[in-house]
């Protein structure tokens, strides 16, 4: 039997949980985020497919979502409900098959399932039906010969479907797409690659890894070429998730313009974050800041600490030092802080690392 990876991805997860709780919302555009009040500053956590038809997307300001879809039903986020629903799905995925499998949780709404089988499609449909029967939630399932292809296959199967992506059909389906189609390459990286002459996945796959590495860095060059070639780990990692970082952020209903107030808010956020760091029972090795200026321009900065620490005063001082290097003349609508732990907590696409976290919402 061959080794396969299934990527189980719950469709419009957060919105789907809300609709299950409120059947009268079936077929209506539903937008979830913040306090559920689109007149207040917050962003969309997720939108139902009906709302997406109006252009509403995750991460969009709620006020913009209200303009795009004024007849939408706006609901507050209820994280405990989503965590409970996610836990129910995890329980199903652990036991849906009568053959050994490995489960790697990626967030609230998605997980990899590693299994040896001659019939991955039947197993994918079995997982899909088991989740639906037990929870009422629909999932799409991507099938691949490694985690990258399984993850990207899911988009071809959405919603409520399955799809298989392997080495044999990789370039046929992905080759002529832009490089931002690849899991792990965002719009900024794709723009940079375009400037270097790589417009498509096929062009990037044909690049010399070392030559590209000389331009973008010895780690990222080979990594990006590898992604374009569909290379990734085929092993699903079932070890418990270990957080790479913890973060806190707050959105202000009135823009901050007084920098004494900005510093005070940073101090408060970092001290709250320190409690999270201590809860992890690991010291922070790096801290970062996120500042969203008016109207909606976001800047992030980070720095490595002189020594690992859980000391709130040290963390506050490090973040304030970053803050002082930012623009002091623009109103601020959001502040966020982040503490990162040692790199051995991070697992990525390659064989020695994997990513985990059932956090976040996909399409």
Please give the torsion angle defined by the CA atoms of residues 141, 45, 70 and 138, in that order, rounded to the nearest 10 degrees.
Answer: 20
Residue 216 burial (CB count, 10 A): 16
Instruction: Report strand pairing: 162-165 vs 139-144.
Output: parallel
What lies within 8 Å, CB to CB, of 127 at 6+ separation is: 6, 8, 92, 93, 96, 97, 113, 139, 141
Residues 226 and 224: their CA atoms lie apart, in Å, by: 5
Closest to 357 in 3D by CA, of 152, 104, 31, 13: 104
C-alpha distances (whole Å) from 51 to each of 30, 32, 228 are: 6, 10, 32
Q: Which of 18, 50, 104, 110 is catalytic?
A: 110
Where in 86-240 does DSSP place strands (E)?
Answer: 101-107, 110-117, 139-144, 162-165
For residue 126, cis peptide bond before it (omega within 30 degrees of 0): no
Per the listing, tokens 């071809």 go with 156
110 catalytic? Reply is yes
Q: What angle do CA 333, 338, 342 make, to 5 degrees?
A: 165
- Beta pairing, strands 30-32 & 73-75: parallel
- DSSP assignment, residue 45? S
- From the list 34, 33, 36, 16, the residue with the least C-alpha distance to 25 is 16
The candidate with the shortest Cα–Cα distance to 153, out of 110, 115, 211, 195, is 110
How far apart are the C-alpha atoms of 244 and 232, rounded to whole Å? 20
From the centroid of its chain, how far is CA 29? Answer: 23
Distance in angstroms (rounded) separating the CA atoms of residues 301 and 149: 32
What residues are annotated to the active site? 110
């Amino acid at each position: 039997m061959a080794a396969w990876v299934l990527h189980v991805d719950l469709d419009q997860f957060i919105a789907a949980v809300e609709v299950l709780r409120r059947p009268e919302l079936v077929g209506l555009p539903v937008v979830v985020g913040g306090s559920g009040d689109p007149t207040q500053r917050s962003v969309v956590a997720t939108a139902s497919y009906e709302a997406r038809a109006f252009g509403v997307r995750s991460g969009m300001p709620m006020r913009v979502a209200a303009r795009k879809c004024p007849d939408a039903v706006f609901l507050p986020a209820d994280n405990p409900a989503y965590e409970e629903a996610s836990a129910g799905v995890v329980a199903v995925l652990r036991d849906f098959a009568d053959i050994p499998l490995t489960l790697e949780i990626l967030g609230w709404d998605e997980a990899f399932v590693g299994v040896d089988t001659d019939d991955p499609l039947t197993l994918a449909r079995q997982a899909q039906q088991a989740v639906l029967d037990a929870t009422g939630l629909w999932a799409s399932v991507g099938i691949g010969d490694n985690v990258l292809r399984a993850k990207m296959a899911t988009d071809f199967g959405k919603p409520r479907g399955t799809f298989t992506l392997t080495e044999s059909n990789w370039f046929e389906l992905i080759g002529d797409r832009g490089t931002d189609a690849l899991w792990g390459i965002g719009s900024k990286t794709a723009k940079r690659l375009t400037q270097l002459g790589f417009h498509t996945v096929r062009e990037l796959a044909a690049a010399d890894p070392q030559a590209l590495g000389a331009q973008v860095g010895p780690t990222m060059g080979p990594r990006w070429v590898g992604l374009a070639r569909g290379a990734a780990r085929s092993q699903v990692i079932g070890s418990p998730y270990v957080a790479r970082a913890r973060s806190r952020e707050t959105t202000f209903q009135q823009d901050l313009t007084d920098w004494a107030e900005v510093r005070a808010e940073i101090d408060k956020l970092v001290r709250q974050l320190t409690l999270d760091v201590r809860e992890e029972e690991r010291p922070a090795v790096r801290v970062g800041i996120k500042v969203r200026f008016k109207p909606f321009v976001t800047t992030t900065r980070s720095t490595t600490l002189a020594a690992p620490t859980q000391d709130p005063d040290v963390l506050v001082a490090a973040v304030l030092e970053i803050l002082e290097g930012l623009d002091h003349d623009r109103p601020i609508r959001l502040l966020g802080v982040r503490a990162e732990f040692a790199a051995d907590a991070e697992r990525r696409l390659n064989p020695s690392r994997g990513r985990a976290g059932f956090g976040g919402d996909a399409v």
